[in-house]
Every structure is written in structure tokens, then in C-alpha cells.
Amino acid sequence: MSAASTLPAPALQASRAALSAALADQNISTPADDELEAGEIQEVDMQAQAEGIRTVFSDPSNFNVKHPLYSPWTLWFDSPATKGRNLPQTPVSAFPQTPIIPQTPGVAAAQGWMEDIKRVISFDSVEEFWGLYNNIIPPSQLPQKANYYLFKEGIIPAWEDEANKNGGKWSIQLPKDKNRSNVDKMWLYTMLAAIGETFDPSPSLSDGSNDASLITGVIVSTRPQFYRLSIWTRLAPTGSEEDGALRERIEGVGRHFKMSVLGYPESARLGGPLATEVEFLSHKDSEKKGKARKIIV
């Protein structure tokens, strides 16, 4: 008998959502199907077929089914501990090609930062995600000023990337002393919601492309006194009347993050010393001095 999954219920639910989306996207045929005449239906022994399938949920070590995700993802990492140690640099070919951006102080700083960021691995299936997750250091054990960036393949985790330049981010800052035991779980649930496409539940356009998806990536950052979790989006409302639908969609991402992923009641106020509310800020407003327009849920 297969062992039952030991994943926490929210993580298991998010994983199965990713798996279900993957299955719905597949059109699986067998050699027997190819031999059928037009209109003929192949009889299938569902019990025998089910007994031969071992998913990552029922057998984490010996699964024999691989479920592709809706989108492939890449994990990036940077830390002061990796600087100046002559570690191999991420090859230039590993960075997606983006349009040339005029040289400004911000762009120059981003390019300098990209020399230190390390591409860890790309994956495109539920099983590969769990293989990665089970073999990396959790956020609670990372050194100070370290960051994990999980972004859709082809997108660099920088404001200047074509997919990010018109967007923004949802974020929450959590005091380290009160959340050291929770941050690993919160980061796991954030990643699962991202790869399972549950933050923005309508990622497809009518032509089958995924350009409609708002989510480009998620980040966890460790700092001396706090953790920060962020969700990056490719678009951000500007405040115009035409942006009403987009703002509603952005707010939906924030509410899902706050309640379903982080587990807070909608009415909870979270701000305090070293802590912030769950708040959204466009990348362009982040660069401005003075009071920026924030959306808070």
C-alpha cells in the first residue's frame, strides 16, 4: 500500500491544483488508440491503470508519473556570502535576451547586480519542483541579505526586464524573531501558488498563449531583522478610470496571497515594528521619492 502524503493540507491542495492543470493540458494517446477505427472507443481497465500509477504525492521516492507545469520556472539565488569567492558566474547565455535599455544609474546598478546572481536550476514539472525544494536550504537558514528568486523561464528577476518594467509587486515584511518558524512554510505556499497559477486564475488568452498571466515571479529575502516575501506582476494600475478591471485583478492577487497563502484573515492588520501590511507598489513608484501610491489588502 502506498504511503499517504505527509504534506500540509494547503501545500497538498496547491500541488494538486498544479497537477490537475497539467493533466488538463495534456492530450495523452496510446498505441492502442492509433489502431482504433473512426468512432470506435478503446476500453480501458481503469483499476489496473490506476494501480500502476505512482505520483509524487503517494510515493515521493519512487513515483513513475511526471506532470508538466503550465509554465517552466527558473530559481535564482544571490547572497553576500557568494561574492568574492571566485564562484563560477552564470553564463551570459543563461540570461534571457531582452531589448537594450538606455543606460541610467538604475540600469547600471541592475547590470552590476546581475553579475552576482546565480541561476540555480530550471524545471517544468511538479516532480522536478519537489526534487528542487527538498534539496535547497530553506529561507530560515539562509545568511543575512540572501534572496531566492523563482521566476518564469525567460524572465530575469529585475525591474528592467521587458516582462517586469510596467509591473509592480505585492510584498509583506515579517519580523524575524516572530516568524523564523513560519517563513519556510510561507515561502513554500507562495511558490506552490505561483507554479500552480492560483494567484491569477485566468492565465490564458484565446490564442493559447500565456501572455495574459499577471505573475512573473516570487521572491523571499532575508535581512538582519526581518524576512520579506514578494510577488511580482507584469502590469500595475496607474490610477486611471480605464484601469478599474486591472486594479480589481491585482487586488485579487493580493487577497489570495494574504488569506489563502499566508493564512491571515482579510480584516487582519499586520503593520507594526519591522512589519508591514500586505501591500502593492508599482516598480515605477518604487523609484520615486516621497509618498508612493500603495494598495493595501
Catalogue the E-assigned strands of the chain: 68-78, 118-125, 147-152, 168-175, 215-222, 226-233, 279-282, 295-296
The DSSP symbol for 275 reads: B
Phi and psi torsions of 5, nearest 5° = -65, 140
265 by DSSP, 3-state: which?
coil
b/e 131-170 (16+ beta carbons within 10 angstroms → b) = ebbeeeeebbebeeebbbbbbbebbbbbbbbebbeebbbb
- Delimit the domains of the chain by residue range: 67-296
Question: Rounded distance, CA 281 to CA 291, Å?
Answer: 11
- Given a cut of 70, whether residue 15 has pLDDT beyond it is no
Q: Judging by beta carbons within 10 Å of its beta carbon (0-12, 13-18, 19+), is residue 9 exposed, middle or buried? A: exposed
Question: Rounded distance, CA 216 to CA 232, Å?
Answer: 6
Mean pLDDT of the chain: 77
Of 59-68, 74-83, 120-129, 268-277, the poorest mean pLDDT is in: 59-68
Q: What is the pLDDT of residue 99?
A: 41
Taking the model in full, what pTM does it have? 0.74
Q: Domain 67-296 is classified in which CATH homologous superfamily?
A: RNA Cap, Translation Initiation Factor Eif4e (3.30.760.10)
Q: What is the pLDDT of residue 210?
A: 47
Phi and psi torsions of 171, nearest 5° = -150, 160
Using pLDDT thresholds of 50, 70 and 90, give the confidence band for residue 66: confident
Give the best-scoring range by mean pLDDT among 19-33, 89-103, 133-147.
133-147
- Given a cut of 80, whether residue 83 has pLDDT beyond it is no
What digits encode the pLDDT tens for the residues 45-63?
Answer: 444 445 566 665 666 666 6
Catalogue the E-assigned strands of 43-114: 68-78
